[in-house]
Amino acid sequence: MDALKQKILNEGQVLPGNVLKVDHFLNHQIDPELMYQIGQAFAGFFAGRNINRILTIEASGIPPALMTGLAMKLPVVFAKKTEAANLDTDFLAASVYSFTRQREYTIRVSRKYLQPGDRVLVIDDFLANGQALLGLADIISQAGADFVGAGIVIEKAFQQGGELARERGIEVHSLAKIQDMTDGKVHFCDDHL
């Protein structure tokens, strides 16, 4: 997706530790026009697969998931990272390690929002080490639902997450796939920007 890649090149910052800071448009401040285009791109790619639910993880996965849900006219469910008084006591849970925050989370989804036979599309902002995606895959499996595929806004292809997911048979579609971030610059796998 050229608009996304251009935004990454123009406004993203490469920080030490292979961190790509895109908080100006993706995960702190949101560019709604770009997010709308992202939702349309995922809806087009995953069209015709009888998906009936979109799943993401809080918080940065919510905007692209919501726009995809709007484009596909589907409900969006997000896994919560914290316990809440209003979360049902009957929930699905998985443990996820966040390399960004250097801590482990238990993510939770109420069972009433994921049912056996559901056809689930996962949407997330980043795929790096793959722990969030694999945690969501575990929750989908616990629910007895079908994991149709994963739409990722930005994949760091030089980290293991994409490979781990694909080895497990998860279809991953990434809108911007980064080969490396050497010399403080982003280089995409398709290298046409």
**What's the mean pLDDT in 82-104?**
76
**pLDDT digit string, tens, across residues 29-83:** 999 999 999 999 999 999 999 999 999 998 899 999 999 999 999 999 999 987 7
- Residues 77 and 166: their CA atoms lie apart, in Å, by 23
Place of tokens 């993203």: 12
- Count of domains forming the chain: 1
Residue 14 lies in a domain: yes
Say if CB 67 and CB 35 are below 8 A apart: yes
Parent domain of 60: 2-188
For residue 185, CA distances in Å to 13, 128, 163, 178 come to 8, 17, 23, 10
Which CATH number covers residue 36? 3.40.50.2020
Q: In the beta sheet, which residues pair with residue 108?
A: 80, 93
Residue 193 lies in a domain: no
Nearest to 79 by CA among 116, 43, 106, 112: 106
* Paired tokens of 71: 């484009």
Place of tokens 């996304």: 4
pLDDT value of residue 193: 46
Residue 177 lies in a domain: yes
Residue 157 lies in a domain: yes
* Paired tokens of 151: 């739409």
**pLDDT digit string, tens, across residues 109-164:** 999 999 999 999 999 999 999 999 999 999 999 999 999 999 999 999 999 999 99
State which H helix or E strand residue 43 sits in. helix 32-45
Residue 138 lies in a domain: yes
Residue 132 lies in a domain: yes
Going by their DSSP bridges, the two strands 172-180 and 187-188 should be labelled as antiparallel
Residue 91 lies in a domain: yes
Taking the model in full, what pTM does it have? 0.93
Residue 44 lies in a domain: yes
